[in-house]
Amino acid sequence: MSLIHEIDYGTPASKSEKLVTLTIDGREITVPEGTSIMRAAMEAGIEVPKLCASDMMDAFGSCRLCLVEIDGRAGMPASCTTPVAAGISVSTQTQRLKDVRRGVMELYISDHPLDCLTCAANGDCELQDMAGAVGLRDVRYGYDGENHVTARNNGEINAKWAPKDESNPYFTYDPAKCIVCSRCVRACEEVQGTFALTISGRGFDSRVSAGMNEDFVSSECVSCGACVQACPTATLTEKSVIEIGQPEHSVVTTCAYCGVGCSFKAEMRGEELVRMVPWKDGQANRGHSCVKGRFAYGYSNHRDRILNPMVREKVTDPWREVTWEEAFAHVASEFRRIQYQYGRDSVGGITSSRCTNEETYLVQKLVRAGFGNNNVDTCARVCHSPTGYGLNQTFGTSAGTQDFDSVEHTDVAIIIGANPTDGHPVFASRLKKRLRQGAKLIVIDPRRIDLVRSAHVEASYHLPLKPGTNVAILTAIAHVIVTEGLANEAFIRERCDWSEFEDWAAFVAEPHHSPEATEAYTGVPPELVRGAARLYANGGNGAIYYGLGVTEHSQGSTTVMAIANLAMLTGNIGRPGVGVNPLRGQNNVQGSCDMGSFPHELPGYRHISDDATREIFEKLWGVTLNHEPGLRIPNMLDAAVEGTFKGLYVQGEDILQSDPDTKHVAAGLAAMECVVVHDLFLNETANYAHVFLPGSTFLEKDGTFTNAERRINRVRRVMRPKNGYADWEVTQKMAQAMGLAWNYRHPSEIMDEIAATTPSFAKVSYDYLDQMGSVQWPCNEKAPLGSPIMHVDGFVRGKGKFIRTEYVATDERTGPRFPLLLTTGRILSQYNVGAQTRRTENVVWHAEDRLEIHPHDAEQRGIRDGDWVRLASRSGDTTLRALITDRVAPGVVYTTFHHPSTQANVITTDFTDWATNCPEYKVTAVQVSPSNGPSDWQRDYDEQARQSRRIAGKLEAAE
Amino acid sequence: MSENPNAKLVYMANQIATFFQTQPAAGAAEGVATHINKYWEPRMRRKLFEHIAHGGEGLNPLVIEAAEKIRRPEAV
């Protein structure tokens, strides 16, 4: 094992198809037109010295190290900014170049500290490497003159020196070590797209500045780490590297946060993780990262992590630590007892969209083959189940149509019900890059998300609709496209069912679907809707990206179908730059759905009632499978309250905090006789658990995650599980205790079983993934390299199906008692229920959930910024502090749900999507009023949670 | 929604019917039945039939029309 070093070619690759041949150091080299001389040389294995160049960003030409000489041309041009030309002859090493480079280096080093031995970058310093490369042996200028290196100069205070900025929890900025190469500034602009950094001053006064000379943590910096990665010196350095030292080996793995599924190098020293660095060859992230994946992994060592199995008789008892064997035996006997007493269908399981495909597969297998029923569901129920339903109905398969690279070809992007800069930051950076190149943007969101207007990005249209009216607005857009004759008839005739289209077109053309008619409930001025519709239909490659603001509604599935209709209507399917792109919340939402986590379908989206599919698994597993669909999560809880559902195995999901209508969830859990929680922490659901099985982190196990673009990425173990077992082993041992003859020795064997039973995974194996890096399913004989884009020559279902989408208002309505609409979302630094990110330094950016409220609504209620307010709905009430902002429209309030003390889901109702029971998180009628502090419910809940987390023989664990 | 023990089930069935009512009339009842057959666990279907047997209070007529196409769960 050794460190993985990616080659830095110095400048980005040229996409030109025209080739140019030139000579460098006597070698003939052929590269695409537009390639820099620096890159051409590197491709031939000739490394020209450089400091300010990196292939992650455009050439800058400031360091003056990469000079070359070209026969017949005067001077010494910078090889990074000089493109190749046919027939030229380039020399990268001549006496003149050597002298100039050494002189340049001497100047750099004359204003740089010589503490190399104790410097954190020792062993990973490009400045040091370049000093070596140019043969610098002496610095003639001395260090007594003007400099940025020493705090005092000849006894006087040195005004040019600045102290280290250690305000960011994850990295430091040491201006004394800066060579002003601008790589950090350019990375912030070009890679991340935040523009938080700049060079202040000029000449010798130049210095990197976060915001307006602020410290990093107070500036607009989003802590993505791109600048740290770009820095060639120790100026920007991970605190973990400062503390531990340089890593000695690295392993490529996949981030366990959002559905973008970024590839990282886990850089290690022994079993200690030194840092996570985005992998340039990662096909989802292309070398970029966000604050969560890059830095927020500290939870894996957090003192709250539970490492021993525990059981208890009653949920009011303290926990008792037991051996694994006792825990498995207890679970097996309890589940057997419950099934004997209450029937085969009285137990079930919940698979995790945080865990690997292999682990998910095993949990659903345990339920189907071990429990003998189909009561298995996954947290995708509460986020993207409508995507599955809607896209399956219209296109014939339950998945996004594109890869993330596709955005590089998009001309018009529609973002609806998603906030990528916070929820899917690395995708947002890639989108912003495309927008800066001139692509147009339409945002459909009740809230003014950052993409509506931020540095060098401005949406052409923002349709600030009332929460709950997605279907009305999308149908109105379709109305405009159809009635104004902007549809792509050729595409529809060739690829879709024409008679269904005619029926649908007549439906959307009805006057009551026009933007003018729908304004009454959407609140969006019709000219904005018409403008957006025309732009999407006429603007070139149109791509729709959407998130949970689409799915988590009572008409979630209808909205997904409306999105699919629009894509078919405009022919925006089946090529790069277009498509329907669900932005998946969790790392493995796609995978958990693929793996048969839903109660009605086996792996590969095949319905449980299909005899042929059941037979495949029955033969392999040696059991008879139940042909009836099982209970979905909300149905399980209803059945529990009614007394027919008594036992639940929950792997890696916190349903008490993340599912709507907390009181109903709590009542369901409380009615069960054996709740088994398998997790890293005593989460909120564990307050009602009888057995706790400690889980392992993504760093501690092998497996695969499947991201939002259907990409199957390897997760690789870099350290032993602190709890003793990877999660797949825990499920296997539990199955064995229940008498199932499972004997997987490695997750690769589970993947082999998946491939053998699931046609869309037929060619997938760990060996193949190692060879390919990653593949996007379907990956089989028909598509051996995987499928970056779906529905290329035709829809999976045959003809694309247009489906009527009538707007039906949710029954969750405002009225005199609850006049405001609450919608929910997330923030960049925190992740979902926060179980992980709250246990990292990310709390610096977001220590509590706040209620965003418009100044008008706040003033009417006498609420000032920062005041405690009571937030009440028909379901319950809670308190949190107000944040007054015009990002939300009057009549709408917004909050995040990252902190258990807020209990935002006490407020949300049990209304669900009509087709999938996906909860309607995004619309709740509420009232907001001034408050003195936590509600009675919050106090009771805290006390109950505290009591339920006691472990016999241990001091109370404080969170 | 708590007066009637079947209120939630009725509400869910009606939501499904409301969608299929907006679709071409010919397939509406079929659509409701197929949807319930595909996604409703036998306990839920059994309760639905019991509710219909007791008069089907509150149910959208399309659900009642669809009922003959909904698969009856096996007896317990």
Are A640 and A671 in contact, with CB atoms under 8 Å apart?
yes
Question: Residue A208 is encoded by which pair of tokens?
Answer: 């990197």
A411 touches chain B (CB under 8 A): no
Phi-psi label, residue A523: left if phi above 0, alpha if psi -120 to 50, beta otherwise: left
Q: Band of the pLDDT at B50, cuts 50, 70, 90?
A: very high
Q: Which residues pair with A894 in a beta bridge?
A: A823, A852
Amino acid (one-letter) located at A567: A
pLDDT in the model for residue B76? 64
- DSSP H stretches of helix in A484-525: 489-495, 498-508, 515-522
Best residue of B4, B10, B19 to probe chain A, by most A CBs closer than 10 Å? B19
Q: Band of the pLDDT at B1, cuts 50, 70, 90?
A: very low
**What pTM was computed for the model?**
0.94
Of A49, A53, A155, A142, the residue nearest A102 (C-alpha): A49
Chain B residue whose CA is closest to A918: B12
Task: Determine the number of helices (DSSP H) and then strands (DSSP E) in chain B.
Answer: 4, 0
Q: Band of the pLDDT at B3, cuts 50, 70, 90?
A: low
Chain B residue whose CA is closest to A499: B24
pLDDT in the model for residue A944? 86
Chain B residue whose CA is closest to A598: B39
From chain B, the residues in CB contact with A599 under 8 A are 41
Distance separating alpha carbons of residues A73 and A88, to the nearest angstrom: 9
Distance separating alpha carbons of residues A908 and A921, to the nearest angstrom: 6
pLDDT in the model for residue B2? 45
pLDDT in the model for residue A955? 64
Q: How far is A804 from chain B (nearest CA, A)?
A: 6
Sites in chain A below the pLDDT cut of 50: 957-959
Dihedral sign (CA A287, A291, A294, A300): negative
| Helix orientation angle between A556-569 and A385-394, rounded to the nearest 10 degrees | 40
State whether A345 and B43 contact (CB < 8 Å): yes
State whether B43 and A630 contact (CB < 8 Å): no
Q: How far is A914 from chain B (nearest CA, A)?
A: 5
A388 touches chain B (CB under 8 A): no
Nearest to B38 among A345, A554, A600 (CB): A600
Distance separating alpha carbons of residues A263 and A277, to the nearest angstrom: 9
From chain B, the residues in CB contact with A503 under 8 A are 24
DSSP string, A456-486: TEE-SEEE-PPTT-HHHHHHHHHHHHHHTT-
Are A919 and A911 in contact, with CB atoms under 8 Å apart?
yes
A609 touches chain B (CB under 8 A): yes
Convert the pLDDT of each residue in A479-488 to its tens digit. 999 999 999 9
State whether B38 and A607 contact (CB < 8 Å): yes
Nearest to B40 among A629, A805, A914 (CB): A629
A375 touches chain B (CB under 8 A): yes
Chain A residue whose CA is closest to B22: A806
Distance separating alpha carbons of residues A193 and A437, to the nearest angstrom: 12
Distance separating alpha carbons of residues B12 and B35, to the nearest angstrom: 11
Q: How far is A629 from chain B (nearest CA, A)?
A: 5
pLDDT in the model for residue A584? 87
Query: For residue A648, what is the DSSP state?
Result: E
Chain A residue whose CA is closest to B32: A915
> What is the C-alpha R_g of chain A?
29
Question: Strand A647-651 and strand A674-679: pairing?
Answer: parallel
pLDDT in the model for residue A355? 94
3-state class (DSSP) for residue A387: helix
Could you tell me the CA-to-CA distances from A825 to A280, A386, A549, A552 in Å, in that order? 30, 18, 8, 11
Residues 6+ apart with CB under 8 A from A377: A348, A350, A351, A597, A598, A599, A630, A631, A632, A633, A636
Convert the pLDDT of each residue in A228-246 to its tens digit. 999 999 999 999 999 999 9
